[in-house]
Structure 1
Amino acid sequence: LRPGLKWSDGTPLTTEHVLFWYEDILLNQELTPVIDDDMAPGGEPLKVTADDDFTFRMQFAVPYPTIVDILPSQAPWSPKQYLSQWHINYNEEADAKAADENFGAWYEAFLYHADATETQQDAELPVLGAWIFASQDTQGNTRYTRNPYFWGVDPEGQQLPYVDELEKLVVENREVLTAKTLSGEATHHSWFLTLADFPLYKQNEATGNYTTRLHPDLRASEMGFAFNYTHADEVLRELFNDIRWRQALSHAIDRAEINELRFAGLGVPRNPIMHPGPAFWEDGLDQYYTEFDVDKANALLDEIGLAYDSAGEFRLRPDGAPLALTMEVDAGRADLSEIGNLIKNYWAAVGVNISVKGQDQQFFMQRMRANEHDIGVWAIGGSSEPYSRQNEPIRYRPPWHWPTTPLGGPLWRQWLDTDGVEGVEPPDIIKELWDVTVEWQQEPFGTDRYNELGYQMLEINAENAWLIGTVGLVPRVSIISNTVRNHPTEEDILSIEYDMWTYHLMQQWWIEA
Structure 2
Amino acid sequence: MSIENNFVNIIKRFWILIVLAVFTAATVAACNPNRLKMNADAAQVPQLVTSILSDPKTFNLALSQESPNIFGLTYEGLINQNVLTGKVEPALAESWEISEDKLRFTFTIRDGLKWSDGQPLTADDVVFTYNDIYFNSAIPSDVKDSFRIGVNRQLPTVKKIDNRRVEFTLPEPFRPFLLNAGTPILPAHALKAFVQQKDQEGKPVFLSKWGVDTPPGEIIVNGAYKLERYDTSERVIFRRNPYYWRKNAQGQPQPYIERIVWQIVENTDNSLLQFRSGGLDSVGVTAEYFSLLKVQEKQGNFKIYGKEPGTGTNFILFNLNKGRRDGKPLVDPIKSRWFNTVEFRQAVAYAIDRQTMINNTFRGLGEPQNSPITVQSPYYISPKENLRTYDYNPEKAKELLKKAGFKYNGQNQLLDADGNRVRFTLLTNSGNKIREAIGSQIKQDLAVIGMQVDFTPLAWNTYTDKLANTLDWEASLLGLTGGLEPNDGANVWSPDGGLHMFNQKPQEGQKPIEGREVAPWEAEIGKLYIQAAQEFDEAKVKELYAQTQRITQEYLPFIYLVNPLAMTAVRDRFEGIQYSALGGAFWNIHEIKIVK
2:529 maps to a residue whose letter is T
Q: Tell me which residue corresponds to 1:323.
A: 422
From 364, 386, 392, give the equivalent of 2:490.
392
Larger RCO (alpha carbons 8 Å, 6+ apart): 2
Q: Provide TM-score, normalisation by structure 1.
A: 0.82
Residue 80, structure 1, aligned to residue 80, structure 2 = no
After superposition, the C-alpha distances for 1:52-74 in whole angstroms (9 at most, x for unaligned) are 111111123332232211111x1
From 122, 139, 148, give the equivalent of 2:216.
122
Residue 290, structure 1, aligned to residue 382, structure 2 = no
Q: Where does 1:435-450 land on structure 2 (aligned, <5 Å)?
A: 435-444=527-536, 446-450=537-541
After superposition, the C-alpha distances for 1:207-229 in whole angstroms (9 at most, x for unaligned) are 432223344243454x3112222
Q: Where does 1:112-261 land on structure 2 (aligned, <5 Å)?
A: 112-113=209-210, 121-171=215-265, 173-190=267-284, 193-221=285-313, 223-231=314-322, 232-261=331-360
1:178 maps to a residue whose letter is L
**Deviation (angstroms), 1:135:** 0.9
**Deviation (angstroms), 1:314:** 0.6
Deviates more, 1:458-467 or 1:119-128: 119-128
2:209 maps to a residue whose letter is Y
Q: Tell me which residue corresponds to 1:306.
A: 406
**Deviation (angstroms), 1:269:** 1.7
Q: Tell me which residue corresponds to 2:181.
A: 71
**Deviation (angstroms), 1:180:** 2.5
Q: Tell me which residue corresponds to 2:498.
A: 403
After superposition, the C-alpha distances for 1:415-451 in whole angstroms (9 at most, x for unaligned) are 9xxxx9955232322222221112222333x434322
**Deviation (angstroms), 1:35:** 7.3
Distance 1:281 1:78 in 2: 33
After superposition, the C-alpha distances for 1:393-417 in whole angstroms (9 at most, x for unaligned) are 62x5559xx635x54222xx469xx
Deviates more, 1:20-29 or 1:138-147: 20-29
Q: Tell me which residue corresponds to 1:15.
A: 123
After superposition, the C-alpha distances for 1:225-254 in whole angstroms (9 at most, x for unaligned) are 122223444443333233222222211111
Distance 1:87 1:372 in 2: 31
Deviates more, 1:243-252 or 1:204-213: 204-213
Distance 1:35 1:137 in 2: 29
Distance 2:135 2:401 in 1: 51
Distance 2:333 2:201 in 1: 41
Question: Does the residue aligned with 2:242 lie in a helix, a strand or coil?
Answer: coil
| Unpaired runs of at least 5, structure 2 | 1-108, 323-330
Distance 1:385 1:471 in 2: 19
Q: Is the 8 A contact 2:176 2:533 kept in 1?
A: yes
1:204 maps to a residue whose letter is Q
Alignment CA distance shift 1:432-1:134 (3 Å): same
Identity of aligned residues (%): 22
Q: Is the 8 A contact 1:227 1:374 kept in 2?
A: yes
1:471 maps to a residue whose letter is V
Question: Does the residue aligned with 2:587 lie in a helix, a strand or coil?
Answer: coil
Deviates more, 1:285-294 or 1:341-350: 285-294
> What's the C-alpha RMSD, in Å, of the aligned pairs?
3.2
Question: Does the residue aligned with 1:36 lie in a helix, a strand or coil?
Answer: helix
Q: Is the 8 A contact 1:229 1:237 kept in 2?
A: yes
Q: Provide TM-score, normalisation by structure 2.
A: 0.72
Q: Tell me which residue corresponds to 2:478.
A: 378
Distance 2:378 2:577 in 1: 31
Q: Is the 8 A contact 2:114 2:120 kept in 1?
A: yes
Question: Does the residue aligned with 1:216 lie in a helix, a strand or coil?
Answer: strand
| Unpaired runs of at least 5, structure 1 | 96-102, 496-500
Q: Is the 8 A contact 1:211 1:479 kept in 2?
A: yes
